[in-house]
Every structure is written in C-alpha cells, then in structure tokens.
Amino acid sequence: MTEKTSWDKERKAMQDMHCELTGGDLGACNYRMYEPVSGAGTLSPEGIDKFTDYKGKWEKAYYFVESNEDRMLSACWNNLPELSPLRISGTDQFYMMWTRQTRNRRALAAIDVSCEIIHSIILADHFTETGFEPKSERFAVYKEHVAWLMSGVEPHYIENWSRDYIKCKNNARNPDQILLEIISVHDVLSANCIDDDCSQIPDATSIRNYICDQNNQRSDDPRLISDALWEEKMRTASMFIPLIF
C-alpha cells in the first residue's frame, strides 16, 4: 500500500468545489478561513505597509498549520485498512470531511494538544459536548467505520483504534482551557479584524491581552500565568490556528 504524503490535489479539488458553489473565479478564488484581505484604495500608505507585513506573517503561520494538518491526515489515512469505509470513500472525500475547513479546531485541541494521536482528527467530534451533527455525511461514514470495526475484522487495527480512543477520551476529561480560549479568541479577533487598525490584528500579544481583560474574575486568573508558559501555549496553539508571534 503506497503511503500518502501530499494533499495538494485534494485541497485544490475542495477549493474548486467551493468556488463553483459560491460562483467565484476559479483562478482567483480563495476559501482560506479568516485570510486577511484589504480592499483596494482603503488603506493609507502606512496602513499598506502594515497590512503587507501582517499578510506575510499570516502566510507563514498558515503554511505551518496546513503542514501540520497534512501530516495528521497522512498518518490517519496511511493507517486505515483498505476495507475501512473511511478509506473506501477515497482521498477527496476523506479530505473534505476531516480538514480543519470543515472540522472544529477546538475539539481537536481538546483531545490532542500535541497532534500525535493517529485517529484524533476522526474522534474529535465524538468527544465534544454536542457530538457529531446527526444528519451529516461525516457522522454517517464514522458510524459505518465503527460498525465495520465491531464486525471483528482487522484485530491489529482494532487495537490501534481502541488505544487512540482511550487516549482521546482521557484527554477530553481535562482539556487545556487556556489553549481552547486562545483558539476561540483568535477566531473572534480575526472575524472582527479592521483594516488599518493594528489593535485588531490577532497576534499572540493581542490574544493574551484579550483573554486577560475578559477573565479577571475567574479563579485561575490568566494574568498570573508566566510569560514562559504563555509562550508555550501560544506555540501549541500555532499548530491549530495561523498565529503570529
């Protein structure tokens, strides 16, 4: 069985589908979440320089997230038995179902902060408070995969799946709340980012400040966290979100 290492083809197929559904230009359409965009003629000369610098840093951070996700997708795909329903559906379908573009990034961070559990991208929704969307295709193929497992085929794979399931279940009981807040605040600041306003740029400093300002009444006061620990958590978060340092 040939190991898969690149998801460029599947990524391009998903982008093309997105553009067709939204009526965008296939040559120029970009579906990347919260990509910084500035309308022509809306920025001052100083704003243009700031935006260009920000966009360059964002691209580097985005590539890091994308590379990490590709590694996780490959690890999972390459460990799936040939007869697994998840594999039978093909690489295009597998990518569309489990890429971060369609998956809850907080859910993954809650069960696999190191991004090293092979099946965590598939199990993430299972351990969220709401679980899978009952009518989604992702839940349907997940149920098929679990039913296939329960039939007793591939004993060695069942051991691997069960081990990862237990790891994810245990991690879900005590997730890193600050890490999850970093991801949530990044999305909030990114969605509200205003051109030519540096205070709105969702970098490590602005995210930390936002969390500390919003949570000064809690018992685990984030203002008491050391600089070194904040940096460690930001570095971890940068595997899930395009975080600028």
At 32-83, the pLDDT tens digits run 666 766 654 566 777 778 778 888 888 999 999 999 999 999 999 999 999 9
For residue 84, give Cα distances in angstroms to 4, 157, 163, 195: 16, 10, 18, 47
Backbone phi and psi for residue 244, each to the nearest 5 degrees, phi listed first: -100, 130
Please report which helix (H) or strand (E) contains residue 51, including its range.
helix 45-79
Buried-state track 122-159, b at ≥16 Cβ within 10 A, e below 16: bbbbbbeeeeeeeeeebbebbeebeebbeeeebeebee
- Which pLDDT does position 153 carry in this prediction? 82
Cα gap 13→161, rounded to integer Å:
29
Is pLDDT above 60 for 30? no
Q: Looking at per-residue confidence, does 147 or 221 come out higher?
A: 147
> Could you tell me the pTM of the whole model?
0.86
Name the residue among 199, 221, 212, 237 with its Cα closest to residue 54.
Answer: 199
Name the residue among 160, 126, 166 with its Cα closest to residue 143.
Answer: 126
Cα gap 243→62, rounded to integer Å:
8
What number of CA atoms fall less than 13 Å from residue 26's CA on the CB side?
7
